[in-house]
Structure 1
């Protein structure tokens, strides 16, 4: 394996620590908000906050446990016994344990003068799983929590200090998860093209610029019609779930857990784009974009017809046009990214977890996170091997 600078290893370790810290801070902000709602007698709001936390946590523990059970025997030699690991997941500590394990492995690699190929590959393996779980947590808990807090602020006409803390930590968590997921996908590329700051910033910005107007308009609809937002989400979620099923996903090790994955992806698609199938995605992305924009426009029109229902003091007349401008900027940056910054790769058969510069037998003995590698194949297009294609007018090797 090519030698990696200690500075790069230290940077990876710092990013892992910051990601874990961001998760804990966001969790603390949500618990603080729930406690404040209880103290002020707003029990329904507290129950919604805790319900979102609980559902997302259970989903994360299920993903983590199923993946651990599906991993090769003997891969996680340093893990506690199976019963202790199961207890950690039952106590909703499985994801946090994975974060600690990833930090320990990263620290081990950084302390070594010449890390072994296995230690480096195992650190990548753990980091990729943590990145995927962080993305799921973002759209199962952080994004809905942000929507809920914004809806409460819109209904009440003002924001308390703990609500501002929740809004800020949610935006930081969402931003971090999107960028971290993109960075993790890049590590799965067979021919790792340079991950320049320009492409990272553009990818991060177009996702965020398209996501926050969607969150805002859903929050606005929730503030206007709190009794109907659940029906709205359920109706769209079922349509998106059916669409994901039609694409024939094959991500999880068994059919039951595959439906958990599809349900999670449908939740992500309610807020943002997420590719789940191999092949050219331009058509699917366009369909999803039109679907989501149409729904957002309908909710915005609904607000215009019920503007007097919300308290004054919040500059909605300004925020809605700003949201429209953000959507246009996000679409422009998305076109820029996919036109000039999105890399294409030459994927080789049975070699999907990155190039290590090793022989095939030695390479296959290293930990390979095929879950994330499969998503990377879906996200990054294949390059046609020009040398393998017959040239114009060439028949049987004769021009």
Structure 2
């Protein structure tokens, strides 16, 4: 049953609160783990945790600052003065400021009986930026941290309670970020219906199940060859960066910051699929899946041949068997999703869900997050044509 507009506003506000809380929980878990490593004398592990956290935070602040600088000067008024915003980003608080700003705008809209079109569009504008930043933070910090924790567990032969807390929260956070980003993209295009409850659950699960084998393969290789995993990542990252560059991305406002985006996308592609170019995505997604699968199999094969180097208490065969089952189940759920549960398979006319399309004719003078809208059009190239020609046929495409 579709959500009423007011219920949808409350849902978005609650999801925003949960997303901000998840970010703070993940941050607290990382700092907690680093502190425990220091107390136990494992200084290298603590340095690695803090280094990943710091690098991801710097990249996140750069994205946030570049976007704020490129937005129209009067769009975010009233807000903190420019010097205050610069100081917040310098102190690594830019993303958190964005989250608070989004929650304030969402609360303002929900409290109004008849919110203005500008307030609605501006709430969408902020939520789209936050969704993108959350996705970047997930693959620049959460996923590498998860890989590191699993590698430490494999290498040490034991797992502390705080490590298992970090593993569970990381897996859920990564899948949630992917689902939130996917839902956010669909709000940009008027011809794209939202994900329903069943579609959201299956989308969440297949991302979770496909991510686990990849992370496990990299973690196993990291535990056995800690000095070579950096070379492995760098080699694949350069190949993926070249692939992204050849697709001619144009997401950021200037060429120099575009390389920051390309580098981030290459990192995402090291773990999961992410589309950046216009056109049919099925072929590119299949090539990427085959590429990651081949690489993961090589990493696992190398790990198995040197498994005697690991502590005897590690149930490696069970871990790998679970990883293989998760991959097959995730692949099956992905096929089920695109065959039967994808919104384009069950489109309903005149659906009311409280969603404000950022491409609607009424929104031409309203805030439009053009960078995310352009990315959504790359994901759904047919949707742009359908917005101009409503009578056109079914939307093709994947993701």
Residue aligned with 1:251, SS:
coil
TM-score (norm 2): 0.90
- Aligned twin of 1:396: none
1:149 aligns with 2:149: yes
- Aligned twin of 1:107: 107
1:9-40 C-alpha deviation (Å, 9 max, x unpaired): 11111110010001001100100111111111
Q: Which has the larger radius of gyration?
A: 1
- Aligned twin of 1:394: none
Preserved CA contact (<8 Å) 1:206 1:334: yes
1:13 aligns with 2:13: yes
- Aligned twin of 1:321: 321
- The structure whose RCO (Cα within 8 Å, separation 6+) is larger is 2
Give, in whole Å, the separation in 1 of the partners of 2:12 and 2:356.
17
Report the alpha carbon displacement of residue 72 of structure 1 after superposing the two structures with TM: 1.5
Moved more, 322-331 or 12-21: 322-331
Give, in whole Å, the separation in 2 of the partners of 1:149 and 1:330.
23
Report the alpha carbon displacement of residue 254 of structure 1 after superposing the two structures with TM: 0.4
Preserved CA contact (<8 Å) 1:343 1:381: no
1:81 aligns with 2:81: yes
Report the alpha carbon displacement of residue 67 of structure 1 after superposing the two structures with TM: 0.4
1:333-344 correspondence to structure 2 within 5 Å: 333-343=333-343
- Aligned twin of 1:35: 35
Give, in whole Å, the separation in 1 of the partners of 2:327 and 2:314.
21
Give, in whole Å, the separation in 1 of the partners of 2:195 and 2:236.
35
312 and 87 in structure 1: CA distance in 2 versus 1, 3 angstrom threshold: same
Runs of 4+ deviating beyond 6 Å? 384-389
- Aligned twin of 1:240: 240
356 and 99 in structure 1: CA distance in 2 versus 1, 3 angstrom threshold: closer
Structure 1 residue runs of 5 or longer lacking an equivalent are 346-352, 390-399
Preserved CA contact (<8 Å) 1:186 1:192: yes
Residue aligned with 1:382, SS:
helix
- Aligned twin of 1:395: none
Give, in whole Å, the separation in 1 of the partners of 2:244 and 2:341.
27
340 and 377 in structure 1: CA distance in 2 versus 1, 3 angstrom threshold: farther
1:24-81 C-alpha deviation (Å, 9 max, x unpaired): 0110010011111111111110000000000000000000000001112200012111
Report the alpha carbon displacement of residue 108 of structure 1 after superposing the two structures with TM: 0.5
1:204-219 correspondence to structure 2 within 5 Å: 204-219=204-219
Give, in whole Å, the separation in 1 of the partners of 2:374 and 2:202.
24
Report the alpha carbon displacement of residue 4 of structure 1 after superposing the two structures with TM: 5.4
Aligned length, in residue pairs: 378
1:215-268 C-alpha deviation (Å, 9 max, x unpaired): 011001000101111010000000000000000000000000000000000000
Moved more, 95-104 or 206-215: 206-215
Preserved CA contact (<8 Å) 2:188 2:376: yes
Give, in whole Å, the separation in 2 of the partners of 1:369 and 1:32.
36
Report the alpha carbon displacement of residue 181 of structure 1 after superposing the two structures with TM: 0.8
Residue aligned with 1:336, SS:
helix
TM-score (norm 1): 0.90
Structure 2 residue runs of 5 or longer lacking an equivalent are 348-354, 393-399
Give, in whole Å, the separation in 1 of the partners of 2:185 and 2:113.
27
- Aligned twin of 1:132: 132
92 and 34 in structure 1: CA distance in 2 versus 1, 3 angstrom threshold: same
- Aligned twin of 2:167: 167
